Structure 1
Amino acid sequence: MMPALLLGCGEPSPSSNVIISGSVSGTVLEEYPDQPVIVLISHDADMNAIRNDPMNTLIAYAGVDPSTRSFRLDLQDSGLLPGDTVFIAAFIDLSPADRAPYPDTGDWIGFWMNPLNFSTMYTVTAGENNITDIRITREIFDFQAAVTGTVQTDEIGGMLLFAYVGPLTSLNPAALDPDRIIGYTSLIMTGSPVEYFLPILPFGFDTPIENVLILSILDSNQNGLPDAEDKIGYHTAAPPNPTAVTITEGLLTDVDVWFF
């Protein structure tokens, strides 16, 4: 197994006792049995930053053991501290080269996602962080897109906002397919409307991406998890039904979100 290579480490810290381990899975692994599978840890999910500025974006990367499909990255000299948040991804490198590996167009990728609130950012703890399984299910495409608008509510509390490729059969968060979530952000509502910026991940769907719903969950009981007490909001041009949008290259504006 390739040892973890640390990038952009900064000053080592005696408190940086962080190890991230887990495994990978996916039927696509059987299609490319001889290609390397790489795990990367980065400060965020910005693929352009990972590609163009790896020293300031990537924290570490390592190869997956092909016999066990497992990985273990010792980050004790990375400067990473318990409580920091990271993006953890695994990808099949179909065009390996003499450079720091990064997910490229045509590769296949999977990433850690919190199944309870759909966040793609993992909060590390001291010692071993076993994130279990990363499913490699999404092809990587080459586009940059984002959605902006205003969340129209006078509520107070934390809010989850995400882009979901329909069809949508239920507004129950438990019924959502994680592989159809293509963008995620969080907001703090302060009692008045708040503008948002929602980056779209270029994974799994290529532009134009039709039938995309912009959904939000207001954490009414402040427990950090979607549940029955929370309020559901969405973009609509014909209340009270959600209205889908089409994601194309660039910025889609004025996609306001309402609660009913």
Structure 2
Amino acid sequence: MPVIDMNSDVGESFGAWTMGDDAAVFQYVSSANVACGFHAGDPSGIAQTCRDAVAAGVTIGAHVGYRDLAGFGRRFVDATPTELADDVLYQLGALEALARAAGSGIRYVKPHGALYNTIVHHEEHAQAVVDAVNAFSPGLPLLLLPGSVALLKAETKGLRAVAEAFADRAYNPDGTLVSRREEGAVLHDPEAIAANMVRLATEGTIVARDGSVLAMDAESICVHGDTPGAVAMAAKVREALEAAGVTVRSFA
């Protein structure tokens, strides 16, 4: 029987500003990419997200990003490799403390936003992220885009590299994500999204925005927690996967 993970970006609320409905999303996903305070999130909100994840039996992962709170981590930061590695280590340490207090701990790492997309091709920043994770805990898997430089560097370092697909994002024919600056980058049709994710889990393929079919070997599906209708979308994807005989379970 096919098995796949479902993950979501959570813990991104800040002070009086609420982002997504983490507790509701936890009904449907198996892994939580918890913000670490650099792109989003504050200590109390992150701590509550960890407690909610533990209560729901959802695996906690560290959603590390560039130090770009104002830009929600979606802007490239020209940090030196040492600065970036130190920033990643700092975020891992902070989240581990809050996750431990909630009765769990970090089980994997997923870069966020601009950092995630940058290390698809950027050699130095990819190596910095891999080195930081390895220094913190060599047993932590890295959740990354298939074919990325970071994925290859993680494997070379001896880390487990896990490839993922995005339920609510459009793909270019080369397998990269369509830039959020372009129209149609974020998908909103739950039926089409669910059908595409069932195809991924059962056939190992996904449909790009031009209609071409891409081979994709992914162990996890991401449903963004801040996408409008995220909870309903996660519910639809999980329902469709289970109806197709796919088991939803965390890779970590």
TM-score computed with the length of structure 2 as normaliser: 0.25
Structure label with greater radius of gyration: 1
> Higher relative contact order at CA 8 Å, sep ≥6: structure 1 or structure 2?
2
Higher helix share: 2
- Between structures 1 and 2, the one with greater strand share: 1
How does the TM-score come out when normalised to structure 1?
0.24
